[in-house]
């Protein structure tokens, strides 16, 4: 992972423009509210600016509930501002809303919600440049040959494709909007600042910072997100002895299975859930079930092992892990697992928040060999497959 020094980074505020209503992508949802991977476009864009002082979104008046469903609460997030008819009206509403909060010299970044892949390094670079010059934008030199339909080739040597974020001293961007010609169609804020006669620095950006506009862009965005995930596999193993005295059932994979001998255990002795808990803990390198729930602790006496598994699921979720698949193998001569397989799948799926089709339960014997063959004990092995954001 790229390490960026932010120790001398000037403090900054962010305005995210998300007022667009239409979608050229053909769906019902505007593009800023579409899913990419586990995230929503606008929520991911907001997340790129986690080092800002405040962040304000300008949204379409009809998108208030979409916005609140899509965006997770963050300490630095201000309430959204209603957008206007054109992009420049939306930005202006945002600037007006910020006038009582920002000082003239503060740095404000203006960013399109539909660019969710801006890198931390590029954000830092554009802030530093704006702190020096008053106005800077991310931009990319154009590499493709540009040719007009009339046949003449356009000299691309000084041609840049303009991106966002664009960073400005607050007083400068407010002045640019105040003085902007009402009939001129400015495609972005840096054009308004340039129209004032104030130079705008170009900071070389990255191709990944593309704007999601077409269905092809959306496909590409989803490819990028899946490429940015890594898969981890954790394994778990557990053994419990059968007691010698008579019993009515054992707990196995969260289900009571009739059996004539009980399990020797401090908790409910569910080898399936214990192995699975260890497999999940393993994907976040969080120790083992014994370190979280010591058998010496009286509060876990006869405990439902679903509690242990829930805890492991929470630890995985805290690292933004997405459970992909769980697999349990039970080794014993008796009881027979087959009749309870579906109930076990359903119970584990319920505990972990997964579809049952992503939970596999298998059983085998050890051909009368060893302690499982002699019916002295029962074994479970588990594998957990979990996706995490690449770090």
Burial of 160 (0-12, 13-18, 19+ CB in 10 A): middle
Q: How many residues bind Mg ion (CB under 5 A)?
A: 2
* Nearer Cβ to Mg ion (33/300): 300
Mark the segment that binds Mg ion (CB under 5 A) among 25-33, 56-64, 269-277, 321-329. Answer: 269-277
CB of 238 to Mg ion, least distance (A): 4
Contact (Cβ atoms closer than 8 angstroms) between residue 213 and residue 24: yes
CB of 215 to Mg ion, least distance (A): 50
Strand, helix or coil at 335? coil
* Nearer Cβ to Mg ion (238/387): 238
Mark the segment that binds Mg ion (CB under 5 A) among 99-107, 273-281, 291-299, 367-375. Answer: 273-281
CB of 332 to Mg ion, least distance (A): 14
Q: Cα angle vertex 49, ends 84, 218, to 5°?
A: 70
Mark the segment that binds Mg ion (CB under 5 A) among 45-53, 97-105, 146-154, 235-243. Answer: 235-243
CB of 263 to Mg ion, least distance (A): 9
DSSP class per residue in 286-310: ---HHHHS-TT-GGGTT--THHHHH
Options 122, 238, 268, 327; binder of Mg ion; rule CB under 5 A: 238
Mark the segment that binds Mg ion (CB under 5 A) among 5-13, 147-155, 212-220, 236-244. Answer: 236-244
* Nearer Cβ to Mg ion (31/274): 274
* Nearer Cβ to Mg ion (106/238): 238
Mark the segment that binds Mg ion (CB under 5 A) among 117-125, 214-222, 230-238, 337-345. Answer: 230-238
Which structure tokens are listed for 372? 């499982």
String of contacts with Mg ion for each residue 129-168, x by CB under 5 A: ----------------------------------------
DSSP class per residue in 246-285: E-SEEEETTEEEE-SEEEE-SS---HHHHHHHHHHHHHTT
Cα-only R_g, the chain: 29
Integer Cα distance of 165 and 327 in angstroms: 45
Integer Cα distance of 1 and 18 in angstroms: 29
Applying the rule CB under 5 A, the residues between 294 and 353 that interact with Mg ion are none
Mark the segment that binds Mg ion (CB under 5 A) among 211-219, 231-239, 277-285, 336-344. Answer: 231-239
Contact (Cβ atoms closer than 8 angstroms) between residue 349 and residue 257: no
Integer Cα distance of 80 and 103 in angstroms: 20
Integer Cα distance of 155 and 144 in angstroms: 11
Options 127, 274, 328, 382; binder of Mg ion; rule CB under 5 A: 274
Strand, helix or coil at 382? strand
- Give the CA diameter of the chain: 93
DSSP H/E element including 3: none
CB of 279 to Mg ion, least distance (A): 13
Strand, helix or coil at 83? coil
* Nearer Cβ to Mg ion (88/274): 274
CB of 315 to Mg ion, least distance (A): 18
CB of 250 to Mg ion, least distance (A): 12
* Nearer Cβ to Mg ion (92/274): 274
Chain residues binding Mg ion by CB under 5 A are 238, 274
């Amino acid at each position: 992972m790229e390490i960026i020094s932010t120790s001398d980074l000037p403090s900054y505020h962010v305005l995210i423009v998300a007022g667009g209503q239409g979608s050229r992508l053909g769906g019902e949802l505007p593009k800023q509210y579409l899913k990419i991977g586990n995230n929503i476009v606008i929520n991911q864009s907001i997340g790129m600016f986690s080092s800002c002082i405040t962040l304000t979104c300008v949204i379409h008046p009809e998108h208030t509930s979409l916005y609140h469903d899509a965006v997770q609460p963050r300490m630095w997030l201000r309430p959204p501002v209603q957008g206007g008819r054109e992009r420049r009206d939306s930005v202006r509403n945002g600037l007006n809303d910020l006038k009582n909060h920002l000082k003239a010299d503060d740095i404000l970044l203006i960013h399109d919600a539909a660019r969710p892949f801006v890198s931390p390094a590029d954000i830092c670079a554009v802030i530093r440049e704006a702190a020096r010059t008053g106005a800077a934008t991310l931009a990319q030199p154009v590499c493709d040959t540009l040719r007009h339909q009339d046949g003449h080739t356009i000299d691309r040597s000084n041609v840049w494709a303009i991106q966002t974020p664009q960073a400005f001293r607050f007083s400068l961007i407010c002045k640019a909007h105040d003085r902007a010609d009402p009939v001129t169609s400015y495609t972005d804020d840096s054009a308004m600042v340039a129209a004032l006669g104030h130079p705008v620095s170009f900071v070389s950006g990255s191709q990944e910072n593309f704007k999601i506009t077409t269905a092809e862009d959306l496909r590409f965005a989803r490819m990028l997100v899946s490429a940015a995930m890594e898969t981890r596999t954790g394994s778990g193993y557990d053994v419990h002895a059968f007691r010698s005295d008579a019993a009515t059932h054992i707990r196995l994979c969260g289900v009571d299975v009739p059996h004539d001998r009980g399990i020797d255990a401090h908790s409910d002795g569910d080898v399936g859930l214990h192995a699975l808990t260890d497999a999940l803990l393993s994907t976040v390198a969080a120790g083992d079930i014994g370190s979280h729930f010591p058998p010496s602790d009286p509060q876990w006496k006869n405990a439902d092992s679903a509690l242990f598994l829930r805890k492991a699921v929470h630890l995985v979720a805290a690292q933004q892990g997405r459970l992909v698949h769980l697999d349990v193998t039970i080794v014993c001569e008796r009881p027979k697992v087959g009749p309870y397989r579906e109930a076990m799948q359903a119970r584990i799926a319920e505990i972990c928040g997964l579809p049952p089709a992503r939970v596999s339960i298998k059983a085998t014997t050890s051909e009368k060999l060893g302690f499982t063959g002699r019916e002295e004990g029962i074994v479970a092995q588990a594998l957990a497959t979990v996706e995490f954001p690449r770090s």
